[in-house]
Structure 1
Amino acid sequence: MLARQNTKLLRQIGTLPTSGARAAEIYSMNHQTFLAVPQLAYDLAATPAHMNGGDSDTDMLIFRWNGDAFIEHSRLSVPGGEDAEFFTINGAHYLATASARKGKGPYEPNIGSTIFRWDGAAWSHFQSVPGFLAKQFRHFSIGSRHFLGLALGVTIEGAVATNPRNSCILEWNGTSFELLQTLEGPWGYNWRHFTIEGQHFLAYADHVEASRILRWDGKRFELFQTLEGKTGRAFEVMQVDGQIQLAFATIAGDTTVLQWNGQAFEHFQTLGGPGGREFAALTRDNSHYLVQINFIEGSPKEPKTALVSFIHQWDGDQWQKVFEFETFGATDAAFFSDQGKTYLVVTNSLTPDVRFRQDSAVFEFLG
Structure 2
Amino acid sequence: GAMDFAHFVIEGSSYLAVANYKSREDCYGDVECLNPVGSQPVENTTQLPYNVPSHILRRGAGGDFERVQALPTRGALDWEHFVISGEHYLAVANSFDATYSTPLTNSTVYKWRGASFHRFQDIETNGAKRCRYLQRDGAHMLIFVSAAAGGESAALH
TM-score range, shorter chain: 0.7 to 0.9
2:148 to 147, 154, 167: 154
User: Which is higher, the Rg of structure 1 or of structure 2?
Assistant: 1
Pairwise mapping of residues 327-338 of structure 1 onto structure 2 (< 5 A)? none
Structure 2 equivalent of residue 61 of structure 1:
55
Structure 2 equivalent of residue 166 of structure 1:
153
Unaligned runs of 5+ in 2: 32-47
Structure 2 equivalent of residue 321 of structure 1:
none
1:93-148 deviation per Cα after TM superposition (whole angstroms, max 9, x unaligned) = 111111001216x7221111000111223211111110110111101212422111
Change (3 A) 1:68 1:120: closer
Question: What CA distance in whole angstroms lies between the structure 2 residues aligned with 1:93 and 1:59?
Answer: 20
Question: What CA distance in whole angstroms lies between the structure 1 residues aligned with 2:30 and 2:6?
Answer: 23
Change (3 A) 1:23 1:145: same
Q: Are residue 78 (structure 1) and residue 60 (structure 2) matched?
A: no
2:8 to 19, 27, 32: 27
Question: What CA distance in whole angstroms lies between the structure 2 residues aligned with 1:52 and 1:112?
Answer: 21
Structure 1 equivalent of residue 45 of structure 2:
none
Structure 2 equivalent of residue 221 of structure 1:
none
Structure 2 equivalent of residue 232 of structure 1:
none
Return the letter of the residue paired with 1:40.
Answer: Y
> What is the count of residue pairs matched by the alignment?
139
Return the letter of the residue paired with 1:128.
Answer: D
Structure 1 equivalent of residue 127 of structure 2:
133
- If the length of structure 2 is used for normalisation, what is the TM-score? 0.79
Kept in 1: contact 2:69–2:116 (CA 8 A): no
SS at match of 1:56: coil
Pairwise mapping of residues 1-367 of structure 1 onto structure 2 (< 5 A)? 20-43=1-24, 47=26, 50-51=28-29, 53=31, 55-66=49-60, 67-103=62-98, 107-155=101-149, 166-170=153-157
SS at match of 2:81: strand
The structure, 1 or 2, with the larger RCO (C-alpha pairs under 8 Å, 6+ apart) is 2
